[in-house]
Copies of this chain bind each other. A is one copy, B any other.
Amino acid sequence: MRVLVQDSPFDLAAEMTGFGGDGMGAIVTFTGVVRNNDRGDLVAMDIEHYPGMTQSALTRIATEASARWSLGDVLVIHRHGRLEPGEQIMMVATASRHRKDAFEAAEFLMDYLKSRAPFWKKEITRDSADWVAARDEDEAALGRW
């Protein structure tokens, strides 16, 4: 299991080299990318986090996923700081013998990352800077696990 919290970019390809290991037939990745807003005037997304808590919160989520599903490997990377449209924000990867476990564990990781990891996004446009509101559906998504 690897959990990385960083301001620098990450390289999906480099992270996936050797990921999974022997006997794992299924690898799922999720990559989150800064997307422009509906008005198309996003300058950057500013991501604040709680340094003392972030690593342990992500590790706890990854550990929980490993306990619930049969996983050969788990990777979580989450960036903070100022990210421009098109930049990668975060990724998770899961490896398992079967695709069902790999998919479910990746979705679980994403649902918990959204609402239980101490990150806050601020949307910076030319004229404004607004904190992104949590979405009810993200909180509701936890109910399925």
Contacts and interface: CB of A to CB of B under 8 A. Distances in A.
Interface of A: 11-14, 16, 20, 22-36, 85-86, 97, 99, 102-103, 106-107, 110
A22 to B, nearest CB: 7
A32 to B, nearest CB: 6
Contacts of A26: 30-33
A31 B14 CA distance: 15
B23 A27 contact: no
Main secondary structure of the interface of A (DSSP, over half): mixed
Please state the number of chain copies in the assembly: 2
B16 A27 contact: no
A97 B35 contact: yes
Nearest to A21: B86
A19 to B, nearest CB: 9
Contacts of A32: 25-27, 99
Contacts of A30: 26-28, 99, 102-103
A30 B25 CA distance: 10
6 contacts: A22-B86, A24-B35, A25-B32, A25-B34, A30-B102, A99-B110
A21 to B, nearest CB: 9
A91 to B, nearest CB: 9
A27 B86 CA distance: 12
